[in-house]
Structure 1
Amino acid sequence: MEVKEVKPPSGYGKPPWVFRGSALYQLHLVKAETARAFVPKEFKLVEAFGYTLGGFFLASYDDSPVGIFDEAVGLPSQAARFSKRITAIPRQSESKANGFLGMIGVGTAFNKPMNCLDIQVTEVKGPVATDICTISVGTAALAKAVPEPNLNKLTGPVINMSLPSFSGRTEYNPHLLKYSCQIECRIRAVHPAKVSGLPVKPKNDTEQSPEQQSSNFVDSMTRELGENERNLSISVMLSKPILALEFNCLKMQVGAPIIVFPCSKNTSRSC
């Protein structure tokens, strides 16, 4: 394995880069055949009974080297717009919402949210904007609504952890890059966010000239390649959640990237 440091991009300051805010980390059971599309061939996929672990990381940064922004980590990376709307969650009786869990002693395992944050994720490529999915987060911290009494007491214990992060293998950077990531935050288990995809638009069956058909075929092939990557990402987010963790008072330090596997000049983008 070859490891080589990469010169940090200009304009972001010197590493480590520090990000502060809050985040939701959600772990899912993902079909192995779906996950393989995202795993470089140099790595072996850990799976059992046709499934592996995946998920997504939804973050809202109040401070970072590039200012305030949101991100949803799902491959492949693309610039996106996040439209947010906060709604109140109707109160339910204890017997209806938590009766059985209370009987077996785990009814208070999750903190009940007071508000719901609906996030519409829209992919932006130049002048073209495409709605991707909607993420409904039922957590008070990410929703940033009216502060609840004693909210700081409900944000969980302080933890420190180190996680590797990978990127690259794109038309802009063909190498596989690895980043060191140090995280300090308060953590608590929460109800999983609900992810909803978008309905498939019906095809247009109107008659077209051969020139129009040829042009539309090229456009369709280009669009389908992008849509295939997008649909694979959405399928991961739509898979079955098994654990959701909320990170409050998040401080994340990201080190300079290193090249783990260089991409040969003779190989394609998907090498």
Structure 2
Amino acid sequence: MEALEKKSSSGYGKPPWIFRGSALYQLHLVKAEKARACIPKEFKLVEAFGYTLGGFFLASYEDSPVGVFDELVVIAGLVWNRPTSCAWATKVYVNSSEACSHGRKDVGLPSQVATFSKTITAVSRQSKSRSGFGSALRNSNDQQNVQITKIKSLDAEDTCNTSLTSPAC
């Protein structure tokens, strides 16, 4: 308990921590045998018909205890953590050394520093007239491309490229 009472060396302070931003959570069925290889033996895997629920979590935080940063979490599957279940993170990439330190020291995540490169491209714009009033509705989709590159000493290794299309407001 004493560890939670002390202020974290990364500037996070004691929980609860507040993060504000946007995120995409993509779920996938993962073969249980593949997920078990990434999860410590002491945890029971939540599975049905030979599969568990895994995926990834991609977030862009506008506000956090250490400021603005991005995060990609790769989830192997769900594990029982009595009295409930939780997602098991096998990889965590962040573009902030403070967030990396917090993930490792305060939360126990396998955090690594990476660079995130984002580009947003307009895909299409359409105008529709409503009931002859001349007002136009705009339906637009923006495509966001995100590339994450893991940093190892002086070397860099491409880790993930993803392309997201979502309705723009």
Instruction: State the TM-score bracket (shorter-chain normalisation).
Output: 0.5 to 0.7
Give the TM-score normalised by the residue count of structure 1: 0.40
Q: Is 1:81 matched with 2:115? A: yes
Give me the whole-angstrom Cα distance separating, in 2, the residues matched to 1:91 and 1:33: 45
Give me the whole-angstrom Cα distance separating, in 2, the residues matched to 1:25 and 1:42: 26
> Match of 1:66?
66
Larger CA Rg, structure 1 vs 2: 1
Supply the RMSD in Å over aligned alpha carbons. Answer: 2.2
Aligned to 1:118, which of 126, 134, 145?
145
Q: Does the aligned pair in 2 maintain the 1:113–1:138 contact within 8 Å?
A: no
Counting aligned pairs with the same residue, the percent is 63
- Assess, with a 3 A threshold, how the Cα gap between structure 1 residues 70 and 41 changes in structure 2: closer, same or farther: same
> Match of 1:16?
16
Q: Which runs of 4+ in 1 moved over 6 A?
A: none
Q: Could you list the per-position Cα deviations for residues 39-77 of structure 1 after superposition, in whole angstroms to 9, with x for gaps in the alignment?
A: 221111122332111111110000111110100112233
> Match of 1:133?
160
Q: Which runs of 5+ in 2 are unaligned?
A: 75-89, 92-110, 127-138
Give me the whole-angstrom Cα distance separating, in 2, the residues matched to 1:65 and 1:49: 41
Give me the whole-angstrom Cα distance separating, in 1, the residues matched to 2:117 and 2:35: 28
> Match of 1:28?
28
- Assess, with a 3 A threshold, how the Cα gap between structure 1 residues 59 and 86 changes in structure 2: closer, same or farther: same
Q: Which runs of 5+ in 1 are unaligned?
A: 93-111, 141-147, 152-271
- Assess, with a 3 A threshold, how the Cα gap between structure 1 residues 68 and 47 changes in structure 2: closer, same or farther: same
Q: Could you list the per-position Cα deviations for residues 94-119 of structure 1 after superposition, in whole angstroms to 9, with x for gaps in the alignment?
A: xxxxxxxxxxxxxxxxxx76101000
Give the TM-score normalised by the residue count of structure 2: 0.63
Which structure has the highest helix share of the two? 1
Residue identity matched to 1:125: K
Deviation at 1:138, TM superposition (A): 1.1
Give me the whole-angstrom Cα distance separating, in 2, the residues matched to 1:23 and 1:121: 15
Q: Does the aligned pair in 1 maintain the 2:124–2:140 contact within 8 Å?
A: no
> Match of 1:240?
none
Which structure has the highest strand share of the two? 2
Greater relative contact order, per chain length (Cα 8 Å cut-off, separation 6+): 1
3-state SS, counterpart of residue 35 of structure 1 = helix
3-state SS, counterpart of residue 37 of structure 2 = helix
Give me the whole-angstrom Cα distance separating, in 2, the residues matched to 1:86 and 1:54: 27
- Assess, with a 3 A threshold, how the Cα gap between structure 1 residues 36 and 60 changes in structure 2: closer, same or farther: same
